[in-house]
Amino acid sequence: MSNYMTIQQVADELSKSTKTLRRWEKEGVLIPDKKEEVTRVRLYSPDHIRRWKRSLQLSRLLREQTKLIHTLNKELDKFNMEQDYVPGQPLKLFDDESANHYDRVYEKLSRTKKVYNWALKELLTYPKSMLLVSDDEEKENA
């Protein structure tokens, strides 16, 4: 048993409740690697749990990056709305400070999208069952 983790140890490691882990087991998403015959104690491989933990971290990172992309896009939309051309009206000129601000926002958006794409690519290397947990976790956080 020393090479395996109990459900409580896994819950602590993943920052989830044992109830959530049991639900995932019932749904066929996170199955214990074995159960003790007499006590029926659920046992999980540490390597298996490390992969699950990484999958959850990537899912969180994707959600954070998605929110940031949305916020940055809104900021750039303000810039575009201010630049809308109205026939017969002169274009608004931006001072250097405003132009630099929007350049920084655009650069941050580009970096954020790169992180998002990297995390998505990493997450998609995991089995489909781990992606189901990611969706499940997002519903719990909503």
Contacts 24+ apart (CB under 8 A), 36-42: 36/1, 41/1, 41/6, 41/7, 42/6, 42/7
Output the pTM of the full model.
Answer: 0.69
Q: How confident is the model at residue 91 (pLDDT cuts 50, 70, 90)?
A: low
pLDDT tens digit string along 44-69? 999 989 888 888 889 889 999 999 99
pLDDT tens digit string along 12-34? 999 999 999 999 889 888 889 99
Say how many residues make up the chain.
Answer: 142
